Homo-oligomer: A and B are copies of this chain.
Amino acid sequence: MHSPELLKGTLQTILLKVLKDNGRMYGYEITQRVKELSDGRILLTEGALYPALHKLEAEGLLQTETVLMGKRVRKYYTITPAGTNLVGDRVSEFMDFIKTMSAVLQVKYI
């Protein structure tokens, strides 16, 4: 697991991008997908994940659909057009941040 400090501020970007790339997903599924993509290095905690999803929904960037699987509730999230519009900017912003930090830390792009 990474130093959690560095992860701050990246959660929204991760959620939007993963939902854009993978279509309809539910919370737990997102944690597993991020774990897989990050090779086990990013483990989203529920206390961060659910409030973040709720916030993105409240902002109109995600929309939800609750489905009953047997006796179990699942809440599926889909990115909205507004979310799709935003995700590119967020990713670009992150890449720009990396470029700037690389200059400050005097390191070559990985």
**Contact residues of A with B, CB < 8 Å?**
2-10, 13-14, 17-18, 21, 34, 37-39, 41-42, 91, 93-107, 109-110
List 10 additional contacts besides A2-B96, A98-B110; criterion CB under 8 Å.
A2-B100, A5-B9, A8-B8, A17-B106, A42-B100, A91-B107, A94-B105, A95-B110, A98-B101, A109-B110
The quantity of this chain's copies bound in the complex is 2
Q: Is the CB of A13 within 8 A of B95?
A: no
Q: How far is the CA of A50 from the CA of B104 in the complex (A)?
A: 19
Give, as a whole number of angstroms, the nearest-CB distance from A12 to chain B: 9
Give, as a whole number of angstroms, the nearest-CB distance from A84 to chain B: 15
Q: How far is the CA of A110 from the CA of B21 in the complex (A)?
A: 19
